């Protein structure tokens, strides 16, 4: 929570904007859960900040994707195409450090 307070209103609005674009792109119900987070990456060759998005569809399937830039730099065209929805589904038993 402390980190979110330090980042300010623009960061919070960017998180909400990416969530709204995700809901629209994948035609998610208003009650569908969407998680948008900016995470630091220390792996060599990885961008220092990346945006991680996870969401659940009506059949309770978890989907996720990463955007290799800070959340405030993300634009709607950075999101995966809607027809890639099935390829974004997390395999059963899949462990993920991000969400």
How many domains is the chain built from?
Answer: 1
| pLDDT, mean of residues 10-34 | 96
Q: How many CB atoms lie under 10 A from the CB of residue 36? A: 22
Write out pLDDT tens, residues 30-84. 999 999 999 998 888 889 999 999 999 999 999 999 999 999 999 999 999 999 9
Q: Is 52 part of a structural domain of the chain?
A: yes
Q: Is 94 part of a structural domain of the chain?
A: no
| pLDDT, mean of residues 21-33 | 96
Q: Which CATH number goes with the domain that contains 72?
A: 3.30.160
Chain centroid, CA 6 distance in Å: 20
C-alpha distances out from residue 27 to 6, 8, 12, 20, 75, Å: 32, 29, 22, 10, 18
The parent domain of residue 45 ranges over 2-88
The HSE-up count of residue 4 (CA atoms within 13 Å, CB side) is 8
pLDDT value of residue 46: 86
User: Model pTM?
Assistant: 0.84
Rounded distance between C-alpha atoms, residue 49 and residue 69, angstroms? 6
Q: Residue 11 pLDDT more than 80? A: yes
Q: Residue 96 pLDDT more than 70? A: no
């Amino acid at each position: 929570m402390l980190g979110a307070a330090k980042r300010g209103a623009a960061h919070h609005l960017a998180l909400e904007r990416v969530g709204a674009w995700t809901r629209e792109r994948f035609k998610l119900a208003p009650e569908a859960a969407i998680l948008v987070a900016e995470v630091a990456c220390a792996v060599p060759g990885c961008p220092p900040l990346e945006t991680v998005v996870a969401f659940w569809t009506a059949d309770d399937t978890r989907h996720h994707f990463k955007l290799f830039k800070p959340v405030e730099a993300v634009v709607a065209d950075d999101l995966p195409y809607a027809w890639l929805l099935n390829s974004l589904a997390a395999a059963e038993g899949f462990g993920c450090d991000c969400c």
